[in-house]
Structure 1
């Protein structure tokens, strides 16, 4: 019977120390959350802004010239017509960027 009493006392002590450890971890978690919040506003958001500015400036200086068409035999293979439009253009066709099997649209050579 004394052994059961010792075991129950040990369980009560361990549960008390666990609850103290959990409350200490929660206090540490609150501090970590504040740290990450500050880092998000001070580092991450300005970093995203700098990347957006860099992309915008590079796009402004980028020459919008069409790439030269080279009729490679392994590209733009059409074994069957597309089920929309005229059947030659892809669904999201951009005539300035996407070439057709025989060249870009509107450029007669």
Structure 2
């Protein structure tokens, strides 16, 4: 397998991580779509990661995936805490957060 597809994926993952770190909403959306496209291209190749170069790139891509996952979890936690503070500020802070029928948070 050529390493070009993996290198493209890694570049897109780095762009996604930069967008996550920079709170760039449009960049996150663009980079997420670009990562998905890169993954679809790799999947279409039916790759076999047998060479040392491809194995190393695949491992780097997996590490970047984990780094992005951690950032997403941190951002989700920060959002949850902000919602909790907002609920407390409006006097509804003691209510348990649940999802209503509309799929939106209901207190």
* TM-score, scaled to structure 1: 0.35
- Which protein has the larger Cα radius of gyration, Structure 1 or Structure 2? 1
Considering Cα pairs closer than 8 Å and 6+ residues apart, tell me whether 1 or 2 has the greater RCO. Answer: 2
TM-score, normalised to structure 2, is 0.35
